[in-house]
Amino acid sequence: MAVEPITDAQIIVGAYEMGPYSNNVVMEYGAELLDATVYKTNGTRKNIAGLLTGRLTAVGFTDWALNGGSATLDSLQDAIYHPSTPIFGPGSPAYQPITVMAKDGDGEIGWSIAAVISRFALMGEIGVLNPYELDTEQGRRVFRGTNIVAGQKTGGGSGTPQQLGVVATGPPEQLLIASLHVYQFVGTDVAFLLESDDDVGMATPTTQHTFASVTDIGTEWAEVAAPITDDWWRLSWSGTFTSFTAVCNVGIITLR
């Protein structure tokens, strides 16, 4: 990807596509600073890196379905506030998978975070476009990956194979992570398989992870341990459905 302006950012919060309602998104990755200053350092503060941290924030505009606007935003608000399906606060899952990309497409770079939603703000001062703000903090991990499925699918098939590399035992040990987001679905069910092979032709693929069967929009965060000697990866799917649209960001991280 060349240096270019961000005009078509993809923002998937769990099973909700927020890009069409957002105008700013920031993914932060860092480390806590630990004060290691001691005497006789000539008046100089000394810091060392501690635990890794991650944070994602997004802002944009609200457009509620009640007034003929966005069913996506209505559904996200229900998911945050409705007691039977919480993704926020007590009783919610430990983390919510979130993926952002500068643009959608097979092979595009993505950043994913297993996040705790810490703040969802609505409304604003008089005269402004009705805004929303979303703040999240790392609940598990942050990783940089590659999207292996793009666009709406209307039948069984598989994505374009991507050469992501092997998952080595080390030391240091590596881990493969996949963040799947199905944000549009019409049908009965669809099954997704994360497959690997040692050749781009994927003639003898090995299933490395079977995602839970999808019967509606949904999301899943998967982690696959080493060793995996194959270096080509793809997502395949089958089921009884009319259509679905999904993102699956896959990356390999080095454990510390």
In this predicted structure, the answer to whether residue 86 has a pLDDT above a threshold of 80 is: no
The pLDDT score that the predictor gives to residue 63 is 74
Cα dihedral 97→100→101→106 (10° resolution):
20
Compute the 3-state secondary structure of the chain and give helix, strand, coil in percent, each to the nearest 5. 5, 55, 40
Mean pLDDT of the chain: 88
Question: Averaged over 50-78, what is the pLDDT?
Answer: 75
Least confident of 1-5, 22-26, 156-160: 1-5
- The answer to whether residue 91 sits within a structural domain is yes
- The answer to whether residue 2 sits within a structural domain is no
Structure confidence at residue 119 as a pLDDT band (50, 70, 90): confident
Structure confidence at residue 1 as a pLDDT band (50, 70, 90): low
Residue 75's H or E segment, with its range, is helix 71-81
- The answer to whether residue 156 sits within a structural domain is yes
Give residue-wise pLDDT tens across range 144-183: 999 999 889 999 999 999 999 999 998 999 999 999 999 9
- The answer to whether residue 17 sits within a structural domain is yes
Least confident of 10-24, 86-100, 183-197, 231-245: 86-100
CB 100 within 8 A of CB 82: no
Beta bridge pairs of residue 202: none
Q: Give every CB contact of residue 49 below 8 A, 6+ residues apart in sequence.
A: 31, 32, 33, 34
3-state secondary structure 46-62: CEEEEEEEEEEEEEEEC
Q: Is 27 exposed, middle or buried (0-12, 13-18, 19+ CB in 10 A)?
A: buried
Least confident of 91-95, 208-212, 242-246: 91-95
Cα dihedral 203→242→219→113 (10° resolution):
70
Angle CA 10–122–90, to nearest 5: 85
Least confident of 55-64, 184-193, 246-255: 55-64
- The answer to whether residue 1 sits within a structural domain is no
The pLDDT score that the predictor gives to residue 236 is 97
Number of domains in the chain: 1
Q: Which domain holds residue 240?
A: 10-254
- The answer to whether residue 16 sits within a structural domain is yes
- The answer to whether residue 194 sits within a structural domain is yes
Question: Averaged over 195-199, what is the pLDDT?
Answer: 97
Question: Averaged over 198-207, what is the pLDDT?
Answer: 97
Question: Averaged over 104-133, what is the pLDDT?
Answer: 88
- The answer to whether residue 226 sits within a structural domain is yes
CB 235 within 8 A of CB 193: yes
> Cα separations (Å) of 115 from 8, 175, 247?
23, 18, 17
